[in-house]
Structures are given as C-alpha cells and as structure tokens.
Amino acid sequence: MLGKVLSPEGLDHIAGHKYVAGKYTPLDNLLNGWWLGLAEALPTWLAPNLVTLLGFVPMMLCYVLMWFASPTLEDPAPRSLAMLTSFAVFFYQTMDALDGKQARRTGSSTPLGQLFDHGCDCLACLSHHSVATMLFLPGGSLWGAAGLSALQTGFFMAQWQEYHTGVLRTSFGPVGVTETQFALMGGALAAGIVGPERLRAFITSMTVVPWSGESQQNGVFFIQGWSTFMGILVLLSMAKTLTTVVKIGGAAGALRAILQLTPVVMLNLLLFLVWDPVVYSPCARKVCLLTGLLFCFYTAQMILFSMARMRFPELQLGTLVPYGALALSSRVLSAEQMDIALTVASVVVAVWVFLWLCRVINELKDKLGIYAFTLQKRSD
C-alpha cells in the first residue's frame, strides 16, 4: 500500500501554484489563432484533462502498433501506419495546445491540470521515440537508446529548471517542442508517401561523417545529430539554472540542485555502460520501454515536487538498484531469459508508476475539491 506522497505544506503550496510558461516560438505564434478557434469550438462541459487524454490515446495506440510492426526497431512501418502516426502526432500536438485554453475558457485551471498535462507529455516521449525509430531504424544499436535518452533527459532538465527558476522553458530561440513535433509529423508523412522500401534504402545508405572520417548509416547520423543538439540544450539549461541558484542559495544551493540530477545521471550510466550490447540488441525495444518508464517516473516527481516546493528525492534506490541488477544480469543471462525478465520488470514498474500517479491525483482532488475528468466540483 502506498503512503501519502505530499505533505500538508506541499498540498498548500500546490493549491496556490501558478504555472509560468516559457516564450512562444514563431511557429507557436503562427498557430495560436488556429488553436484559439478550435478551443472555442469545444463544448464547455468538456474538462481540460479529458482534452489532454483524448489527444494522448492515439499516440499510445500507434506506439502499440509500431511494437508489432517493428519489434526489433529495424523495420520501417507500412504506409498506412506511417500515415496514421503522422496524424496521431498532429492530433496530440493540437489537443495538447487546446487543453490549457479550454481550462482558461471554462475557468477550470488547476495545478492538477498541469501535472496531468505534463505527465502525459512525459509518457508521450516514449511514443515520440517510437516514431523516430520508425524513421531512423536503429535496430539493436545503442544509438536507438541514445535518442530516447537525449529526449527524456532534456524533458527532465526542463522540469528541473522550472523547479529552481519557476519558469518552464519549452523552446531554445526559434526552435521548441512544437517544431520538434512537426518534424516528426513531417517525417512520418514522408515515410508514408515514399513507402517502406525507399525509406529503408535511404536510411541504411552509408555516409562519411566529418567527426570520424568513417562511413555509417544515415539513420545513425541523424540520431547523432539529435543527441548532440539535445546535449547542448541540456548543458545550456544547467548553466543557466545554476547561475540563478547560486544567486539565491550560493554554492550550497547549487550543490543541492546538482544532486537532484543523480537519478537521471545514474540511469544514463547504467543504460550505456552496464547492459551487455549482445543481449541488449534483440531486447532493444523492451529495454527502451523500461528505461523510459523510469525517466517518466523521475520527471513526474520533479514536476510534482516543484509545484509542492518539496524536496526531490535524489537517490531513488528503490528503482535504480533493481534496474542496475537487471542490467548486470544481461552479462550472465541469455537473450531469451532477459526478454522474460524485462517483460516482468516493465509490468511491475508500469503498475507502480500508475498507482503512484493515482495516489497523487487523489490527494490533489481531495485538497482542491475537484474531479479529474469533469468540471463538476466535489461536495464536502
């Protein structure tokens, strides 16, 4: 049985929390009129969290379909699935833009909405990664995991920055979340147009890369570019955040802030240094799922404790130790045995995270006197 997640003081802080978004990109500003018009067309009884959920469901459906279409991350999707995925990303991105506008339109903005919205965004990273693997076909290479790591580490860092600065930055100059999602839409649409044969021929073609002078597949080249871009953003985010933290809390505050990165740093180290590459290769999708779920758990905690102004648990031994033990087991177990172990571990972690989220949502509903998926207020 899970105990209380939030302290009474934390619940009070969340009740008074006000979300501060980062700056819009030029594309956001261009689309804002379209989003406002769509928001006005939504029924006034539709709860904002339900808008978020409606947009999220097609993404998860495509994630499941891609699992069956490409279980080893090395097969392109059929035309129909690529087209469906492009639409699903567009629908998700649109509904994600509408939920906040619907909340303001109906006067139902709550901290629970921010947690639910950003929690779904975090889980959607798994589906976004699946779309990228459909395009770049990393197969059993660790570069597939690197793409996931770059995406979810970047998302965690954005929440970490909000924890210390009070502002959630979703862009870097003219490039942000919206541009990234449109790039995925365009890539999936192009994959549907050209077909799986031509996509495979292009992605598996060899290119000489300038930093090594050796040839490698185009798909790996694109993943390396993405990982480098996200790595730069992570470093810039860290530098900017620590500058703010030092001004407020000095060196001690900066040390505490850095220690909060421990779970994500350890998870990345375990992912890339401990897993046996030979055993990882046939289990790549399941390793990415398990790792992604842990990224989501840590990020959801950062979102929650940022709003509650509570201490983020730095060690996370309850999840990192079992994950590390499983990664070490890949050195002695066969691929078939690891496949079973990964299935069991993923189910356990998914159930644990689900129960944790349910506990948090119930605590917030009780504190705020609201329901999650209806505009009706809860009676005493």
Which of 298, 170, 182 has its CA nearest to residue 233? 170
Residues annotated as catalytic (active site), given as ranges: 118
23 backbone φψ class: left, alpha, beta (φ>0; ψ -120 to 50): beta
The amino acid at residue 208 is V
User: Strands, E, within the chain: which ranges?
Assistant: 171-172, 175-176, 206-208, 215-217
Helix (H, G, I), strand (E, B) or coil at 42: coil
The amino acid at residue 37 is G
How many residues belong to the chain?
380
Q: Whose structure tokens read 């970047």?
A: 154
Close Cβ partners of 283 (under 8 Å, ≥ 6 residues apart)? 335, 338, 339, 342
Which two tokens mark 147? Answer: 């793409």
For residues 357 and 112, is the Cβ–Cβ distance under 8 A? no
Concatenating the DSSP letter of every residue in 166-219 gives S-B--EETTEEHHHHHHHHHHHHHHHHHHHHHHHHHHHTSEEE-TTTS-EEEHH
Backbone angles phi and psi of 215, in degrees to 5: -85, 145
For residues 287 and 280, is the Cβ–Cβ distance under 8 A? yes
The amino acid at residue 254 is A
